Structure 1
Amino acid sequence: MTKKTDTATFEETLAELESIVDEMENGDLPLNKALEKFERGIALSRQGQKSLETAEQKVQILLNEQGEETLQSLPESEQP
């Protein structure tokens, strides 16, 4: 289940990352395979973060076009 991170959607990236986490938590991987999965997971994590940042920028642009205020962080009690 290897996809290029630059062409995968956010949902595909997240699904692959979750799959890797499941495989690694199982603990049955040889060291070299676990390292490969870890490296892939890091790449997927970076791609997911980039996708989220891009989405946030687009939302900010749309808010600015509508004369809305900037994005605000959720109160700590509402954060996941």
Structure 2
Amino acid sequence: MSSSETEVSFEQAMEQLERIVGQLESGDVPLEKAIELYQEGVRLSHLCGLKLEQVEKKIEMLVEGSAGVVRKPFQPALDDKGNSVE
């Protein structure tokens, strides 16, 4: 990941991604431009995923235990099939 990618906030990346999706859904984009937009969308999606992973690693839950307050790493919720729930 380049330094310019790390400077883009999650919110900015999501806004750019939403604009790209809107353009692609409109259907008024020439094929070559649609391919460029798709590639940029995939890059932004990957960037957002990485940023979410970084944040997830920082989250800690405080759990009251018998020995007092214990820090426990954040565990995402799972559905009945064991898949992460967003």
- TM-score, structure 2 length as denominator? 0.71
Aligned runs of 1:1-80 on 2, under 5 Å? 4-59=4-59, 62-63=60-61, 67-74=70-77, 76=79, 79=85
Alignment RMSD (CA, Å): 2.2
Q: Which runs of 4+ in 1 moved over 6 A?
A: none
Aligned length: 73
The Cα shift of 1:63 comes to 4.1
1:27–1:44 CA distance, 2 compared to 1 (3 A): same
The Cα shift of 1:6 comes to 2.8
Query: Higher strand fraction: Structure 1 or Structure 2?
Result: 2
- TM-score, structure 1 length as denominator? 0.76
> What's the % identity of the aligned pairs?
30
Query: Higher helix fraction: Structure 1 or Structure 2?
Result: 1
Higher RCO (CA 8 Å, separation ≥ 6 residues): 1
**Structure 1 segments unaligned to the other structure (5+ residues):** none
**Structure 2 segments unaligned to the other structure (5+ residues):** 63-68
Structure number with larger C-alpha Rg? 2
